[in-house]
């Protein structure tokens, strides 16, 4: 069920990109899609009653130089978290680029409405 | 861009050091506690953004010019790439080989004991530099961009 | 569990307002609401690194977005929408959403990480995630396993990610540069 | 000689990181360095032909770490990327003098090359996504490089559709991870073979087709291409049409469908129909265009249709259990056309840039009679036009011939007829280009036009020579060295995972 709500968020973002006619709104749609995918990835790694994937001192079995079994059986999946960290920075980068294009377009046309920005045909 | 009142200026010049220290802490302890180069770098950048809002763009421009910032980003990227390539020379032909930890685990290079996570803290510092400079540069560019609508108004 | 549903519903409501409101500034603030509640959600999903990064990135993302909207008088959206197009796309997207429901049932249940199911397959080596949790600390020396993954096991991805940031700032400075073309005489000189 | 595979990514990346350090004064040095980087990539690509190996980054054995894979298909794409990027880079040495911020242009150009090389070499699905984003972001910025109305608008449109495509790919990666528990393509493929293709993976596959299809501009997803490609500076148009849509679109699609999920008859049917649609719609939209570069951009859509058609036809024959030799012939046609299209389309865009730089316009109606004024441009443009239209003995003819033969052998006579008809329409539209640009009357304002010399000319002549000579790739020796290994990667299909795991364990 949480997956379904996440997918709904993705679809809302897609709707915004497809239907809205304002440049900033389109950017918001893309951002919403990004949030949805990030949440989805983190949810995939969640374990009920899990703990964060950071090994604390008392979870290390010093004698055997091993991580305690209690940690191994309870930690959430660190891999999706690493992927999401990457995805967040990528989305920040593309946000900066697309907003700079929006600002420059605003300077040229004086509007954010893409129906008024139609020099190219087709 | 203009600065703000004297109260804001005084407070932000006090607060900036705290933010700065916090960012450094987050970066340097990224291998043992949550956080790391990205979060810490963005916090460092926000210290500069605070200064920029309080004292105005010109003040920051004198202390940290955009071209210098761009060079810092390049330096950070080159440092990160150097860490990656170092694995090729120190190790058995492997890009991004963790040459400190792996040698330590293998019982060689005992003089490198002091950092037992190997390249991870070094890479955190490089990424912190990249992210801090890059984010600051982006926000600086956006805030100082002047609209020149006069000659390009809707035709 | 209940906290996840509450936060998700809040995120969905904020998203719908962000999409439908006619005031651009409100829309941007709603995006901030999505981001901050998303960050809380990450915290409850036991991902403190992501929560921290999300919160700081959200602040700066909002500054960038507000910069785009606030400087102009035109924060309200005028213009009418094509009713027919909206209805058609809503119907299509709703169909996609319903189709997605059967798809999501193939995933492991919420609360079971994906690698647990994959670990059952004896034909394959242990999934990467399981190795990271069990041996990541000895293999890399970092107690924060997320750091160990992004900067050692998958450091190549992180190089790519830093490069994306680099690309975007070079791109942004290029797009916002003052003068883009030289005159023809200068070119030929 | 065995080269560490990350060098293909590291060389352009490090050069790109150095570029912004050169200001206005160091422009000549920056240009020299950038050219050196692309040429050394070309040398590396030529050296690595015929090798196949797996490189584990950081010595982490898969599936723990990321692996890079060099096989026949990758080295074919690497070769195409490096040839086109070396020519386009050499061309921009002079062409980009009309814009400011040249060192940043070079930086973005190299980042785009690095991104494409990363995509082509990657053996990990998330890593593929990261490098896809690098190449895409660099191309968004480069499309808007001129900062004029059309460029910004096209860049925005491209960026929105491109970001949606990237989000589809990322969502598909998430579903893929949720279902298989790994990101490594070889092990994921093995897991899929063990467990069978469930509906979740089928949905992920559909998302991959949509996402990579958006990057490849196949017809339902093509809206951005006719705006973005003409708006970019000419060398960038050459890169975008020549290799970017292939490396990010067709290559990624073929790799994921053939080697990870495995082709079924229905997927192959989707590919064939996308191919036919792109071919027909693209070419008929192209005929009516009066903007030189826009016309070329529509032809890119149409020619990409040929590539997808060839690959899809091969997949269809394979999935139906038909003769494997026919399937390899169809895929050979598709891949050979991919390489040919990279060469002649980039040459066409470079000639259009040369015309635009000499005359200041690219509207066909404002041009005319340039045959005497621009003799070299005219000659190279004619060769490239003949290639794209499939006139013997140029390279386009051979790949189209193979496609037709493969279609006839497999019993798809309708496809063969469509291929020939589309080729004829292409010929008509390029006769129109010749007629309006190089023949006819010279307009009064173009009397002063001068031929471009120096690096622009060299780049065009080299590509034109390649157009003539590339038919030789079909000679048995070269064919078994370059084309056959690439075809074998696709016809082997799911044996990919076993091969990779075996090579990694060596």
D70-101 per-position pLDDT tens digit: 999 999 999 999 999 999 999 998 888 888 88
| Spans in chain A with pLDDT lower than 70 | 62-65, 118-122
Instruction: Using the predicted structure, report yes or no on whether residue B155 has a pLDDT greater than 80.
Output: no
In this predicted structure, the answer to whether residue C182 has a pLDDT above a threshold of 70 is no
**Rounded Cα distance, C24 and D262, in Å:** 46
Q: Give percent helix, percent strand, percent coil of chain C, each to the nearest 5.
A: 75, 0, 25
CB A95 within 8 A of CB C28: no
Token pair listed for C144: 């924060």
Other Cβ atoms closer than 10 A to C9: 12
Please give the residue range of the domain that contains residue A89: 2-109
pLDDT band (50, 70, 90) for residue B2: low
Give the contacts of D21 (CB within 8 A, at least 6 positions apart): B71, B74
pLDDT, tens digit, 9 for 90 and up, residues D480-497: 888 999 999 999 888 888
Give the nearest partner residue to D98 out of C108, C159, C182, using CB atoms.
C182
CA distance D318 to D314: 6
Token duo for residue B139: 């926000």
Predicted pLDDT at C63: 84
For residue C78, list chain A residues with Cβ-Cβ distance below 8 A: 113
Answer yes or no: is pLDDT of D66 > 80: yes
How far is residue D141's CA from residue D105's CA, in Å, rounded to a whole number?
9
Closest Cβ opposite residue D66 in set C108, C123, C157: C157
pLDDT at D383: 92
Sequence spans of domains, chain C: 1-72, 118-178
* Beta carbons within 10 angstroms of residue D419's beta carbon: 27
* Mutant choice from B76, B137, B147 vs A, greatest count of A C-beta within 10 A: B147
Alpha helices in D217-291 (DSSP H): 225-231, 234-239, 252-254, 265-287
pLDDT tens readout for residues D371-421: 888 888 889 999 999 999 988 888 889 999 999 999 998 888 999 999 999
Alpha-carbon span D388 to D261, nearest angstrom: 33
Q: Respond yes or no on whether the N-terminal peptide bond of residue D393 is cis (omega within 30° of 0).
A: yes
**A18 in contact with chain C, both atoms CB, cutoff 8 A:** yes
Question: What CATH number has the domain bearing residue A86?
Answer: 1.10.287
What percent of chain C has a predicted confidence (pLDDT) above 70?
89
Average pLDDT of every residue of chain D: 90
- All residues at 6 or more sequence positions from C23 whose CB lies less than 8 Å from its CB, including other chains: C75, C76, C77
Give tens-digit pLDDT for D440-470.
Answer: 888 888 777 787 778 888 999 999 999 998 8
Structural domain contains residue A119: no
Name the nearest CA neighbour of D268 among D333, D334, D312, D332. D312
pLDDT at B107: 64
What's the CA gap between D294 and D349, in Å, rounded? 10
Burial-class residue A72 by CB neighbours within 10 Å (0-12, 13-18, 19+).
middle
Q: How far apart are CA D253 and CA D256, in angstroms?
A: 5
The shares of helix, strand and coil residues in chain A, as percent rounded to the nearest 5, are 65, 5, 30
Q: What angle do CA D49, D52, D58 make, to 5 degrees?
A: 120
Question: Counting beta carbons within 10 angstroms of the beta carbon of residue D432, is it exposed (0 to 12), middle (13 to 18) or buried (19 or more)?
Answer: middle
pLDDT category of residue C81 using cuts at 50, 70 and 90 = low
Contact C176, A103 (CB under 8 A): yes
Using CB atoms, which chains have 3+ pairs under 8 A with A?
Answer: B, C, D
Domain boundaries, chain D: 263-474
Cα dihedral sign, D189-D129-A2-A15: negative
- Fill in the DSSP letter of residue C107: S
Q: What is the pLDDT of residue A63?
A: 66
Q: Min CA distance, A70 vs chain B (Å)?
A: 19
Q: What is the pLDDT of residues D192-203, one digit of tens each?
A: 888 888 888 999
Cα–Cα distance, D198 to A40 (Å, whole number): 19
**Whether the Cβ atoms of residue D283 and residue D418 lie closer than 8 Å to each other:** no
Under DSSP, is residue D55 helix (H, G, I), strand (E, B) or coil? Answer: strand
Q: Which residue has the higher pLDDT, B62 or D76?
A: D76
Q: Which of D111, D170, D177, D288 to mutate to test the interface with A (most CBs of A within 10 A)?
A: D170
Q: Is D206 helix (H, G, I), strand (E, B) or coil?
A: helix
Cβ(A81)–Cβ(B124) under 8 Å? no
* pTM for the whole structure: 0.94
Using a CB–CB cutoff of 8 Å, tell me whether B145 touches chain A: yes
What is the sign, positive or negative, of the torsion defined by CA atoms of C34, C37, C42, C48? positive
**pLDDT reading at D289 higher than 80:** yes
Q: Which of residues 97-116 of A touch B (CB under 8 A)?
A: 99-100, 103, 106-111, 116
For A61, phi then psi, to 5°, come to -90, 95
| CA distance linking residue D237 with residue D248, whole number of Å | 15
The pair of three-digit structure tokens given for residue B57, joined into one six-digit string: 């763009």
Contact B96 D18 (CB under 8 A): no
Residue B114 pLDDT? 45
Question: Helices marked H in D410-483 — which ranges?
Answer: 413-433, 455-469, 476-478
Min Cα distance D254 → chain C (Å) is 22
* Least confident range of A11-15, B70-74, B114-118: B114-118
pLDDT-based confidence at residue C77 (cuts at 50, 70, 90): low
Under a CB-based contact definition with an 8 Å cutoff, are residues D102 and D62 in contact?
A: no
How far, in Å, CA of D423 to CA of D403, rounded? 12
Residue for token pair 């070499």: D121
The predicted model gives D45-53 an average pLDDT of 89
Q: Which residue in C24, C128, C150 is closest to A24 by CB distance?
A: C24
How many domains would you assign to chain A? 1
Whole-number Å distance between alpha carbons of B31 and D87 = 45
The verdict on residue A115 lying in a domain is: no
Mutate to test the interface with B, among C56, C73, C132, C137 (most CBs of B within 10 A): C56
Residues 6+ apart with CB under 8 A from D300: D217, D225, D229, D241, D245, D282, D341, D345
Please give the pLDDT value at position B73: 93
Report the distance separating Cα D66 and Cα D57, nearest Å.
Answer: 6
Higher pLDDT, D429 or D454: D429
The CA-CA-CA angle for residues D15, D162, D350, to 5°, reads 55
Domain definitions of chain B by residue range: 6-145
Residue B92 contacts C where some CB pair is shorter than 8 Å: no
B44 touches chain C (CB under 8 A): no
For B77, name the nearest residue in chain D, comparing CA atoms only.
D17
Both tokens of C65, joined, read 């977005």
B148 and chain D in contact, CB less than 8 A = no
Q: Do B154 and A54 touch (CB under 8 A)?
A: no
Residues 35 to 54 of A: which have CB under 8 A from any C CB? 35, 38-39, 42-48, 50-54
Question: How far is residue C140's CA from residue C157's CA, in Å, rounded to a whole number?
Answer: 17
| pLDDT score, position D87 | 94
């Amino acid at each position: 069920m949480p997956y379904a709500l996440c997918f709904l968020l993705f679809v809302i973002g897609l709707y915004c990109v497809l239907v809205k006619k304002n440049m900033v709104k389109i950017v918001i749609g893309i951002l919403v899609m990004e949030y949805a995918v990030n949440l989805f990835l983190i949810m995939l790694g969640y374990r009920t009653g899990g703990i964060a994937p950071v090994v604390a001192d008392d979870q290390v079995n010093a004698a055997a130089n091993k991580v305690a079994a209690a940690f191994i059986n309870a930690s959430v999946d660190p891999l999706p978290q690493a992927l999401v960290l990457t995805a967040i920075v990528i989305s920040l980068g593309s946000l900066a680029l697309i907003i700079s294009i929006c600002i420059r377009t605003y300077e040229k046309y004086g509007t954010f409405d893409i129906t008024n920005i139609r020099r190219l045909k087709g | 861009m203009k600065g703000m009142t004297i109260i804001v200026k005084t407070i932000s010049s006090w607060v900036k050091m705290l933010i700065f220290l916090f960012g450094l802490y987050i970066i340097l302890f990224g291998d043992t506690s949550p956080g790391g180069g990205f979060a810490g770098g963005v916090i460092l950048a926000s210290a500069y953004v605070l200064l920029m809002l309080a004292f105005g763009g010109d003040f920051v421009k004198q202390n940290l010019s955009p071209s210098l910032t761009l060079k810092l980003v390049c330096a950070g990227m080159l440092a990160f790439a150097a860490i990656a390539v170092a694995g090729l020379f120190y190790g058995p032909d492997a890009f991004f080989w963790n040459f400190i930890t792996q040698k330590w685990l293998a019982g060689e290079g005992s003089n490198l004991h002091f950092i037992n996570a190997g390249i991870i803290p070094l890479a955190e510092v490089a990424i912190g530099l990249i992210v801090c400079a890059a984010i600051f540069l982006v926000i600086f560019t956006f805030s100082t961009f002047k609209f020149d609508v006069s000659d390009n108004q809707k035709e | 569990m209940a906290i996840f549903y509450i936060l998700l519903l809040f995120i969905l409501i904020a998203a719908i307002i962000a999409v439908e409101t006619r005031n651009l500034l409100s829309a941007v603030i709603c995006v901030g609401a999505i981001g901050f509640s998303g960050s809380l959600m990450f915290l409850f999903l036991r991902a403190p690194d992501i929560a921290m990064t999300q919160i700081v990135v959200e602040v700066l993302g909002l500054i960038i977005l507000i910069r785009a909207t606030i400087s102009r008088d035109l924060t309200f959206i005028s213009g009418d929408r094509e009713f027919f197009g909206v209805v058609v796309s809503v119907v299509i997207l709703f169909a996609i959403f319903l189709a997605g429901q059967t798809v999501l049932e193939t995933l492991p249940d919420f609360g079971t990480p994906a690698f647990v199911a994959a670990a059952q397959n004896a034909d394959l080596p242990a999934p990467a995630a399981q190795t990271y949790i069990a041996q990541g600390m000895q293999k890399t020396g970092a107690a924060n396993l997320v750091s160990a993954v992004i900067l050692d096991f998958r450091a190549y991805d992180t190089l790519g990610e830093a490069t994306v940031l680099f690309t975007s700032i070079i791109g942004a400075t290029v797009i916002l540069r003052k003068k883009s073309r030289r005159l023809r005489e200068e070119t030929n000189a | 000689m065995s080269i560490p595979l990350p060098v293909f990514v590291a060389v352009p990346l490090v050069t790109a990181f150095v570029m912004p350090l050169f200001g206005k004064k160091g422009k000549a040095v920056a240009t020299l360095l950038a050219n050196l980087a692309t040429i050394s990539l070309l040398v590396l690509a030529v050296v690595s032909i015929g090798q196949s190996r797996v490189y584990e980054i950081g010595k982490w054995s898969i599936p723990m770490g990321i692996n890079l894979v060099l096989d026949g298909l990758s080295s074919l794409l690497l070769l195409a990327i490096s040839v086109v990027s070396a020519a386009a880079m050499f061309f921009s040495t002079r062409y980009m003098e009309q814009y400011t911020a040249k060192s940043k242009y070079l930086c973005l150009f190299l980042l785009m090359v690095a991104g494409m090389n990363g995509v082509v070499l990657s053996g990990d699905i998330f890593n593929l996504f990261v490098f896809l984003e690098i190449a895409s972001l660099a191309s968004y910025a480069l499309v808007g490089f001129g900062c004029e109305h059309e460029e910004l608008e096209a860049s925005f449109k491209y960026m929105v559709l491109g970001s949606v495509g990237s989000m589809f790919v990322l969502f598909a990666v998430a579903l893929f991870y949720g279902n298989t528990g790994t990101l490594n393509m070889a092990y994921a493929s093995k897991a899929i073979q063990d467990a069978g293709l469930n509906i979740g993976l089928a949905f992920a596959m559909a998302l991959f087709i949509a996402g990579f299809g958006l990057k490849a501009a196949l017809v339902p997803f093509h809206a951005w291409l006719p705006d973005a490609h003409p708006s970019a500076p000419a060398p960038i148009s050459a890169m975008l049409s020549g290799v970017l849509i292939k490396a990010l679109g067709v290559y990624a699609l073929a790799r994921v469908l053939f080697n990870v999920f495995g082709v079924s008859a229905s997927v192959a049917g989707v590919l064939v129909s996308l191919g036919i649609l792109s071919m027909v719609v693209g070419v008929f939209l192209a005929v009516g265009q009066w903007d030189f570069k826009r016309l070329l951009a529509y032809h890119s859509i149409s020619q990409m249709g040929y590539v997808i058609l060839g690959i899809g036809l091969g997949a269809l024959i394979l999935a139906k259990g038909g003769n494997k030799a026919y399937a390899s012939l169809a895929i050979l046609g598709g891949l050979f056309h991919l390489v040919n299209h990279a060469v002649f389309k980039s040459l066409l865009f470079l000639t259009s840039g040369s015309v635009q730089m000499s005359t200041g316009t690219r509207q066909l109606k404002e041009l005319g009679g340039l045959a005497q004024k621009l003799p070299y441009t005219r000659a190279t443009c004619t060769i490239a036009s003949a290639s794209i239209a499939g006139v013997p003995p140029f390279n386009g003819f051979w790949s189209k011939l193979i496609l037709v033969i493969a279609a006839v052998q497999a019993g798809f006579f309708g496809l063969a007829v469509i291929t020939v008809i589309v080729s004829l329409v292409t010929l008509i539209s390029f006769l129109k280009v010749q007629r309006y640009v190089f023949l006819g009357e010279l307009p009064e304002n173009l009397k002063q036009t001068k031929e471009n010399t120096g690096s622009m000319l060299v780049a065009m002549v080299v590509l034109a020579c390649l157009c003539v000579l590339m038919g030789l790739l079909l000679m048995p020796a070269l064919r078994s060295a370059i084309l056959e290994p690439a075809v074998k990667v696709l016809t082997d299909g799911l044996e990919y995972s076993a091969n990779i795991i075996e090579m990694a364990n060596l």
